[in-house]
């Protein structure tokens, strides 16, 4: 190949390169622009995703608070129900334990009259023995139903829970607030005083 032909070919290649270079640059710019746009889209999606996560976290927190309040309400209601059940059980038990209270109170004056009759009988007489047996039978029957006498023996310290002071005494033989006389016996039904003992109390 002649030198002239070589020179012409080189010139043609240079023109081709000069012609193709702007197109390559445009393509590169377009690719960079697309990459930048994709990066921005990814960033926007990440930002949007972060916002949605924040909203979801807030919703979860609200639901947890509601659940906590409901659990506390359930515990309160359960405690109230348990207290009501205990109160109802106690009321039912008390009704059963004291169902005979009215009947027992009606019998107490009968026992009082029999004991009063006993005081007017002679020691060792058949009548006295019969009355004593009758009183014992009465008290044994009442004892089976939870009835017992209030302790009001002479010398017993006055107890306002089971005694009723109707008279005062001034006797140096007994200490202060001691019972010196039982005027009327008292009775207790299953730990409940159904009639206090009427007594004379010493005051010195």
> Contact, 186 vs 195, CB < 8 A?
yes
Q: Are the C-beta atoms of 106 and 82 separated by less than 8 Å?
A: no
pLDDT in tens, 125-161: 999 999 999 999 999 999 998 999 999 999 999 999 9
Q: Assign residue 191 a region: left if phi > 0, alpha if psi is -120 to 50, beta otherwise?
A: left
Q: What is the pTM of this model?
A: 0.59
Per domain, the residue ranges of the chain are 1-97, 98-202
Q: What does the pLDDT look like over 18-58, one tens digit per residue?
A: 444 455 554 555 566 666 666 565 555 555 555 788 788 88
The Cα–Cα gap between 71 and 64 comes to 10
Tell me the C-alpha distance between 147 and 100, whole Å.
10
Q: What is the pLDDT of residues 95-109, one digit of tens each?
A: 888 888 989 999 999
How far apart are alpha carbons 69 and 62 in whole angstroms?
11
Long-range Cβ pairs for the range 139-143 (8 Å, 24+): 139/111, 142/104, 142/107, 142/187
CATH 3.90.1150.10 for domain 98-202? no
Write the pLDDT tens digit of every residue in 159-177. 999 999 999 999 989 999 9
Count other Cβ atoms within 10 Å, centred on residue 68.
10
Q: What are phi and psi of 99, to 5 degrees?
A: -65, -30
């Amino acid at each position: 190949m002649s030198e002239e032909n070589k020179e012409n070919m080189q010139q043609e290649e240079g023109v081709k390169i000069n012609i193709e270079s702007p197109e390559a640059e445009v393509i590169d710019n377009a690719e960079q622009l697309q990459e930048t746009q994709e990066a921005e889209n990814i960033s926007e999606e990440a930002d949007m995703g972060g916002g949605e996560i924040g909203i979801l976290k807030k919703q979860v927190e609200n639901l947890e608070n509601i659940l906590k309040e409901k659990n506390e309400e359930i515990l309160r209601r359960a405690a109230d129900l348990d207290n009501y059940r205990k109160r109802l059980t106690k009321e039912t038990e008390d009704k059963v334990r004291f169902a005979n209270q009215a009947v027992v109170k009606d019998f107490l004056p009968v026992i009082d009259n029999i004991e009063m009759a006993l005081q007017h009988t002679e020691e060792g007489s058949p009548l006295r023995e019969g009355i004593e047996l009758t009183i014992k039978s009465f008290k044994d029957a009442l004892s089976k139903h939870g009835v017992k006498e209030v302790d009001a023996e002479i010398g017993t310290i006055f107890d306002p829970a089971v005694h009723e002071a109707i008279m005062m005494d001034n006797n140096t033989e007994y200490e202060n607030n001691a019972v010196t006389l039982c005027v009327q016996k008292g009775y207790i039904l299953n730990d409940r005083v159904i009639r206090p003992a009427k007594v004379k109390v010493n005051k010195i």
